[in-house]
Chains A and B, each alone.
Chain A
């Protein structure tokens, strides 16, 4: 359902993503982890069609994001890490905006929107302007909007940022339910416990390259870690890379 083929993205001299290739099958939840500055958000943005790779290609259900971006985006739900929304719309109006934008059928919009808002505990706030929402409520609203048009793929950047414990639990349950119905997930996160609990497969990115991919057990074996804890595996594989050690690539621009 999701495929990256030898994708490269640079910002000036910084090699943010360097020859990344991977695929995620239907109904799978793929967790994407890595140190700060490893290239996770850049990958997410390329998958969502927000930025174009310099080389390589992104395919969504076999549709090229390069040649048919609108068609590819039609089947994606995108959830960014920072919940910037239209402040002067109400929650309900924002959902209507999304429904219109994705050209969904208008029939039963109200019931569907209210059901989704209820699930995200936003029903009482549906007629309030978004500018009055807290950070967590905005994050919930973005999630509600992302699933409203029934996407086949969800691209999620840091899903639990700003959510309270009840919200985190609800989102985990929701993602699992959606995966059971065949929705594929690509989730970038720093919260290793979430990746461990939620994901069928985990990829670790470092300096723009995929350094490991597999189930938690596969990664454990690969890293030679003794405990089954993803944190140990992650630290062993990434050796606590920090932002200051981003791979700067070949400076002559080759």
Chain B
């Protein structure tokens, strides 16, 4: 036990000593976190209140919602713990140091598992709390209920993370060395995609259209969630359900089931760890093999129009991107997101709408510009924002190379701008074709996106350069930093400004077409002014973030300089 607390000390001390950039960041992050929590709480309360107003069906829906919440909570925990356990148990940078100490393997495992369990579940616990607290308020839960919530969520996260840790330990021993990470990334991705598609294919939009169902039973049957007397989520649900219905003793018994299950799982995991953990660590030290074989070193002819340094970075960026399997999972996720995005437009019940279809098509098409831009922001945040951070500790190569930081940043910009422009234009054209919009809206959408994409990419690359994290183990995490948050906020404001500036002119042009009226000259001047302003804002949004990023990055020194004098 001594070793376990000692092994956890560096993490605790690092957390205590961390300088997270001062009060400003803390306030921004804290305020956003509290706002999101509060929002979730209000929405949960309103939904439950609404359910209460529906006779008979309301209660059933409330309990179904709780059951679904717990199943989703547990699935998310399993997914998050799988990847977290793999990196904490087998891929951490300090692993060799820890294993060179006289601490027994199972104790190292236990300390690492505590870290992994805490990392993978704290946020999910915090954001599940408002939903369950709402039940306590609506159903007058009493003190024991709130005590029960805390223990239920904690024990479910313990069980989920220990299951994941055991799966990871066994997999590392069974799978060929060097392939472990790749296989897990693909497995995790498949699991996530299955959940995502399963949810999507249930077609939740049907739930708001009860006419589509012949009976209440058939309506409820689509809400079915997995329930079995052997599932920890069932015990958790039964415990909360019983307590809220005045049977606290039954609730306590179910809680005890969770306790004993968690205790037994931990004991079993420690026994397994004692047998195979160290063996797995030794196996995982083998060099990783790429899934794609490296090809020749000649630059492709299509790049010939670029300068040599630009060619160098384009080739480097593409090769490192496709050889990093963690990137693949992101690409698959984005592809799934796009398929679902387009599919949503396909199933829109436009003909059932009481609003005139042509009018609705064009409103949707206009809103679609904003939606597609938000998708673009998410993709940019994942790929273009970390573009500078992914140079990592090899950033010294950029600093010592005979190219300007400005050139380096613009190369990065174009590497991401071109594919993102193609992607977003395809998205907007495909959805507009499905909506069967008029030519004016199609042209407007294509041109607006042509302005928005470079601005958002510039915001991503520029702010990514201004707030780089060269020590991040995973580039995907860069977007969760302060700079990432800034990027998301600024991009959202920029997109809103452009859409708002275009909204009114588009409305007047469209209405003049519908009523076959000519617009007065003053209106035209105002319309042109609005479009010009939107274009001006976009041009500024391309230039300024890149300049800002260049200035901040040029002024930065490698983090190690301070200690490594």
Task: Please give the residue numbers on chain A whose beta carbons come within 8 Å of chain B beta carbons, in ascending order.
Answer: 11, 14, 16, 37-42, 45, 48-51, 69-71, 73-74, 76, 78, 80, 82, 84-90, 92-93, 95-103, 110, 127, 129, 131-132, 246
Contact = CB atoms under 8 A, between A and B. Distances in A.
B410 to A, nearest CB: 14
A38 B393 CA distance: 23
B401 A102 contact: yes
A88 B320 contact: yes
Contacts of A82: 393, 560
Given A41-B564, A102-B401, A103-B309, A131 B319 contact: no
B513 interface: no
A16 B402 contact: no
Contact of B402 (A38, A89, A101, A129): A101
B557 A51 contact: yes
Contacts of A97: 312, 315-316
A78 B315 CA distance: 22
B122 to A, nearest CB: 30
Given A88-B323, A132-B287, A50 B557 contact: yes
A74 B404 CA distance: 12
A93 B562 CA distance: 32
A50 B399 contact: yes
A177 to B, nearest CB: 23
A204 to B, nearest CB: 15
Given A92-B297, A100-B311, A131-B287, A11 B393 contact: no
Given A50-B558, A93-B319, A129-B290, 19 more contacts: A14-B565, A37-B565, A41-B565, A42-B565, A49-B399, A49-B400, A50-B400, A70-B403, A71-B402, A73-B400, A73-B401, A80-B400, A82-B393, A88-B320, A88-B324, A90-B297, A97-B312, A100-B315, A246-B565
A39 B561 CA distance: 10
B561 A45 contact: yes
Given A90-B294, A100-B309, A129-B294, A11 B561 contact: yes
Given A42-B565, A100-B308, A132-B287, A127 B294 contact: yes
Interface string B257-297: 00000000000000000000000000000011010001001
11 contacts: A14-B565, A42-B565, A51-B558, A78-B396, A86-B320, A86-B397, A98-B312, A100-B308, A100-B309, A101-B312, A102-B402
Interface string B6-46: 00000000000000000000000000000000000000000
A51 B557 CA distance: 6
Nearest to B558: A50
B509 to A, nearest CB: 49
Contacts of B294: 90, 93, 127, 129
A129 B399 CA distance: 23
B218 interface: no
Contacts of B309: 100-101, 103
Given A73-B400, A82-B393, A129 B323 contact: yes
Interface string B389-401: 0001110110111
Interface of B: 287-288, 290, 294, 297, 299, 307-309, 311-313, 315-316, 319-320, 323-324, 392-394, 396-397, 399-404, 557-558, 560-562, 564-565
Contact of A88 (B307, B308, B319, B402): B319
Given A38-B565, A100-B309, A50 B396 contact: yes
Contacts of A87: 320
A99 B515 CA distance: 64
A51 B565 CA distance: 12
A38 B287 CA distance: 37
A100 B562 CA distance: 31
Contact of B565 (A11, A80, A92): A11
A34 to B, nearest CB: 10
B83 to A, nearest CB: 19
A73 B404 CA distance: 11
Contacts of A88: 290, 319-320, 323-324
Contacts of B393: 82, 84
A39 B564 CA distance: 9
A102 B309 CA distance: 7
Given A16-B565, A80-B396, A100-B308, A86 B316 contact: yes
A96 B308 CA distance: 10
Q: Tell me which of B399, B402, B565 has the highest count of chain A C-beta atoms within 10 A of its own C-beta.
A: B565
Nearest to A12: B562
B295 to A, nearest CB: 9
A96 B323 CA distance: 17
Nearest to B392: A84
A39 B565 contact: yes
Contact of B297 (A48, A96, A101): A96
A89 B312 CA distance: 12
Given A86-B316, A96-B297, A101 B394 contact: no
Given A37-B565, A42-B565, A92-B297, A86 B394 contact: yes
Contacts of B288: 131-132
Contacts of B397: 85-86, 101
A39 B404 CA distance: 26
Contacts of A103: 307-309, 402
Contacts of B324: 88
Nearest to A34: B565
A76 B312 contact: no
B97 to A, nearest CB: 15
A89 B319 contact: yes
A69 B406 CA distance: 13
Q: Tell me which of A45, A110, A132 has the highest count of chain B C-beta atoms within 10 A of its own C-beta.
A: A45
B394 A78 contact: no
Nearest to A45: B561
A11 to B, nearest CB: 5
A80 B398 CA distance: 13
Contacts of B402: 70-71, 73-74, 101-103
Contacts of B319: 88-89, 93
A50 to B, nearest CB: 4
A50 B554 CA distance: 10
Contacts of A93: 294, 297, 315-316, 319
Given A86-B394, A93-B297, A101 B308 contact: yes
B400 A76 contact: yes
A40 B400 CA distance: 17
Nearest to A90: B294
B102 to A, nearest CB: 25
A130 to B, nearest CB: 10
Contacts of B320: 86-89
A85 B308 contact: no
Contacts of B560: 82
A89 B390 CA distance: 14
Nearest to B395: A84
Contacts of B557: 45, 50-51
B109 to A, nearest CB: 26
